């Protein structure tokens, strides 16, 4: 029944413990928000859930769709349906945005996808995100502005339809209009994909069009408080310190 269950997760980065026992459960169709001060381990949790080898689990377990994936490699987890959008998306010269997404889709499904169908779906989705169609044939993220990179991440989210999407500060550095478009894009995922969402953010603007089930506050490598959607507003008003007293 649970999509993701994290039990007492301890994570080291370069022999230093960053996460000191994180517990988290996300069910299918739920949206969770993760907030907290800078340097507290939010991105570390995202990387550990995705299986980045630089982030080593020293204690605890990660269960996904009824399977213990604590030891699974990144590509296996991607196949299982976990998606992580990056705070700073990589530039990949020589691979177009379109080719990248098509190849990721084919790897995920293990099937060839007809180019015509793919291009139609890609164009429709780019329209939702107000992306210029020419970006499909440009090299992935090369020369993209901050906002365009973030939109390209959301485009991947909507095309790949993962079962669990972790969005790490997808709104940082975006202007008001771009945040709104990205928020609409995530809303589209909520409506059509029935997956779980973990949104790491400092801003509430990204949540404008979204319904939030749970809000978690992480401080110094631990989730110290969990509440409903109203906790986001409370944090905005009072700050992390007062909210977690």
Residues within the interface to ligand ADP (CB under 6 A): 13-14, 18, 36, 38-44, 54
Residue 5's binding partner among ligand ADP, Mg ion, none (Cβ under 5 to 8 angstroms by kind) is none
CA 216 to mean position of chain CA atoms: 15
| Closest approach of ligand ADP to the CB of residue 41, in Å | 4
Distance (Å, whole) CA 71 – CA 58 = 11
Among 8, 76, 127, 177, binds Mg ion (CB under 5 A): 8
Residue 44's binding partner among Mg ion, ligand ADP, none (Cβ under 5 to 8 angstroms by kind) is ligand ADP
Check binding of 220 to Mg ion (CB under 5 A). Answer: no
| Closest approach of Mg ion to the CB of residue 64, in Å | 20
Residue 41's binding partner among ligand ADP, Mg ion, none (Cβ under 5 to 8 angstroms by kind) is ligand ADP
> Which residue of this chain has its Cβ atom nearest to Mg ion in the complex?
43
Question: Could you tell me where the DSSP H helices lie in the chain?
Answer: 42-50, 74-80, 97-109, 115-128, 146-160, 176-193, 230-243
At residue 171, the 3 state secondary structure works out as: coil
| Closest approach of Mg ion to the CB of residue 21, in Å | 4
| Closest approach of ligand ADP to the CB of residue 208, in Å | 22
Distance (Å, whole) CA 219 – CA 35 = 9
Segment (H or E) for 55: strand 55-64
- Contacts of Mg ion in 9-68 (CB under 5 A): 21, 42-43
Which backbone phi and psi does 226 adopt, to 5 degrees?
A: -130, 135
In angstroms, the Cα distances linking 218 to 23, 226, 228 are 11, 9, 15
Chain residues that interact with Mg ion, rule: CB under 5 A? 8, 21, 42-43
């Amino acid at each position: 029944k649970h999509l993701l269950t994290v039990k007492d997760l301890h994570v080291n980065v370069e022999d230093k413990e960053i996460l000191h026992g994180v517990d988290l459960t996300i069910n299918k169709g739920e949206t969770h928000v993760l907030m907290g001060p800078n340097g507290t381990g939010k991105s570390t949790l995202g990387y550990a859930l995705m299986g980045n080898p630089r982030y080593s689990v020293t204690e605890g377990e990660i269960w996904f769709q009824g399977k213990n994936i604590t030891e699974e490699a990144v590509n296996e987890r991607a196949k299982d349906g976990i998606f992580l959008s990056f705070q700073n998306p990589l530039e990949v010269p020589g691979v177009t945005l379109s080719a990248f997404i098509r190849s990721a889709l084919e790897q995920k499904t293990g099937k060839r996808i007809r180019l015509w169908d793919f291009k139609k779906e890609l164009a429709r989705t780019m329209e939702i995100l107000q992306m210029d169609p020419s970006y499909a044939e440009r090299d992935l993220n090369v020369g993209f502005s901050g906002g365009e990179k973030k939109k390209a991440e959301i485009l991947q989210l909507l095309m790949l339809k993962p079962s669990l999407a972790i969005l790490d500060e997808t709104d940082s550095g975006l202007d008001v209009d771009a945040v709104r478009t990205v928020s609409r894009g995530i809303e589209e995922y909520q409506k059509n994909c029935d997956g779980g969402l973990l949104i790491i953010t400092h801003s509430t603007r990204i949540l404008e069009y979204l319904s939030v089930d749970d809000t978690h506050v992480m401080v110094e490598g631990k989730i110290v408080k969990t509440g409903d959607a109203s906790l986001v507003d409370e944090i905005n008003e009072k700050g992390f310190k007062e909210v977690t007293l």
